[in-house]
């Protein structure tokens, strides 16, 4: 019999209360889920994400993190985003933007999951059109 995959998406974790909500919930329920994703663009004092908070959230049991336009609010992100292999920034930023907009995570020997992150365009300035980029990314992941 096939087991159903249980995915939990948490967000938007805002500041210490948001981080501690993730910590406290996962301390009780982490084993109920196969994969945990959290939106963390405001996890450090309400804006951005420090490297320390990134590592802290991983220790709580989060497998993947998404973000949004506030991920850039702390300049520190530019120092570590290339090495933050659990963080997915919005896909539809212009080419050359640090980080990646999609990642594939291995859940176990037989199952992988693709996480794609995109921002809408309303009130977001020069964001690229998300729908075509998402379709292209899905096709890449399927290969």
User: Is 94 domain-assigned?
Assistant: yes
CATH number of the domain encompassing residue 135: 3.60.21.10
Angle at 82 between CA 51 and CA 142, to 5 degrees: 120
Domain count, the chain: 1
The Cα 40–Cα 8 span in angstroms is 14
Domain assignment of residue 2, yes or no:
no
* Residue (of 68, 77, 81, 71) closest to 119 by Cα position: 68
Whether 70 sits among the annotated catalytic residues: the reply is yes
Q: What is the pLDDT along the chain (143 residues), one digit of tens a residue?
A: 468 999 999 989 999 999 999 999 999 999 999 999 999 999 999 999 999 999 999 999 999 999 998 999 999 999 999 999 999 999 988 889 999 999 999 998 899 999 999 876 655 567 667 888 889 989 998 87
Name the catalytic one among 35, 39, 61, 70: 70
Asked, for residue 105, whether it belongs to a domain, the answer is yes
Report the pLDDT value the prediction gives residue 94, as an integer from 0 to 100: 87
Q: How far apart are CA 96 and CA 111, in angstroms?
A: 30
Residue 1 lies in a domain: no
Q: Name which of 79, 80, 77, 82 is nearest 99 in CA terms.
A: 82
Rounded distance, CA 90 to CA 122, Å?
A: 14
Q: Residue 88 sits in which domain range?
A: 7-142
């Amino acid at each position: 019999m096939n087991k159903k995959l249980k995915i939990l998406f948490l967000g938007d974790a805002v500041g210490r209360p948001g981080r501690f909500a993730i910590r406290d919930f996962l301390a009780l329920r982490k084993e109920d889920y196969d994969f945990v994703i959290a939106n963390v663009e405001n996890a450090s004092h309400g804006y951005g994400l420090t490297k320390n908070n990134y590592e802290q959230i991983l220790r709580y049991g989060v497998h993947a993190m998404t973000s949004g336009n506030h991920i850039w609010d702390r300049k520190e992100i530019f120092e570590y985003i290339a090495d933050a292999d659990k963080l997915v920034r919005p896909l539809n930023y212009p080419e050359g933007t640090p980080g990646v907009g999609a990642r594939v995570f291995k859940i176990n020997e037989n199952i992988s999951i693709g996480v794609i992150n995109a921002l809408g365009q309303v009130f977001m300035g020069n964001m690229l059109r998300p729908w075509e980029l998402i379709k292209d990314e899905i096709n890449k992941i399927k290969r």
